[in-house]
Amino acid sequence: MIRIKCPFCGERDHSEFTYGGDASIVYPALDASAEEWHDAVFLRENIRGMQSETWHHVNGCRMWLVVQRDTVTHEIRSVRPAHEATAKLFAASEEEVA
């Protein structure tokens, strides 16, 4: 029953999105060692509380988003485009408005 404020589309029902995964993972370079890749692909924290995660607005604008969500209360603290340059553009335009 979560509602996500997509920066591109506005507030939408969770049924329009698919869950991606842990947004805090930094994937290693393609030529990094198997150990580094193992850690990035398989090791996950099981967080109780605020978690940074990716969601895909798959039945909407098809943008990947980074969502800060509390795993206990489902409270969503923030939503931003996962694409960093796009996220910066958004942040800048918000500052302008402010």
Partner 1 sequence: MSAKRLSEGGRIDRSKRIRFQWDGRAMSGHPGDTVASALLASNEKVLGRSFKYHRPRGIMSCGVEESGAIITVGEGAKRDPNVKATMQELYDGLVASGQNAWPNVRTDVGSVNSLISQFLSAGFYYKTFMGLPPFETGKGTGIWMWYEKFIRKAAGMGRASREPDPDQYEHGHLFCDVLVVGSGPAGMSAALAAAEYGLDVILVEQDNELGGDLLGQKGSDIELRRTELVGALENAGVRIMTRTTAFGLYDYGTAGLLENVTDHLASPDPHLPRHRFWTLRARRTILATGGIERQIAFDNNDRPGIMNASAGRIYLNRYGVLAGEQVVVATNNDSAYRCAMDLSDAGAEVTLLDARAKIPGRLLELIGDRGITLMTNSAPLSAKGLNGVNSLEIAGGKAGGWRSKGKEVCDLLLVSGGWSPVVNLISHRGVRPVWNAENCCFIANEPHEGICMAGTAAGIWNTADCEDSGTAAGEAAAKALGKATGSGGASTSMPAVGGWDMPIKPLYEVRIDGRKSKALVDPQHDVTTEDIRLAHREGYVSVEHLKRYTTLGMSTDGGKMGNIIGLALMAEALGKEIPEVGTTTFRPPYTPVSIGALRGRSVDEHFRPLRRTPMHDWNLAHGATMTMAGLWHRPWYFARQGETITEAYIRETETTRKTVGLCDVTSLGKIAIQGPDATEFLNRIYTNPFAKLPIGKARYGIMLRDDGFVMDDGTTWRLSETDYFMTTTTAHAGKVMVWLEELLQTRWADLRVHVTSVSEQWAGCAVAGPESRTVLKNCVNDPSVMEDSAFPFMGVIETSLKGDIPCRIARISFSGEMAYEAYVPSDYAHALMEMLHPEAVAVDGCLYGLEALGALRIEKGHVTGAELDGRVTIEDAGLGKMASQNKSYIGSALRRRPDMTREDRPKLVGIFPVNRSEKFNAGTILCKKGEVSGLGEGWITGVTHSPALGHWIGIGFISGGHEAWSGKTATAADPVRSKEVQVEIVSPHMYDPSGERMYG
Query: Which residue carries 């489902």 as its tokens?
Result: 74
CA distance 51 to 28: 21
The residue (of 40 and 79) whose beta carbon lies closer to Zn ion is 79
Q: Is 57 in the site for Zn ion (CB under 5 A)?
A: yes
β-pairing verdict for 76-81 and 3-6: unpaired
Are 20 and 56 a contacting pair, CB within 8 Å?
yes
Where on the chain is the footprint of partner 1 (CB under 8 A)?
A: 1-3, 13, 18, 20, 23, 27-34, 36-38, 40-42, 54, 56, 58, 62-64, 73-74, 81-85
What 3-state DSSP class applies to 54?
Answer: strand
Of 51, 60, 68, 86, the one binding Zn ion (CB under 5 A) is 60
Shortest Å, Cβ 19 to partner 1: 12
Positions in the binding site for Zn ion (CB under 5 A): 6, 8-9, 57, 60-61
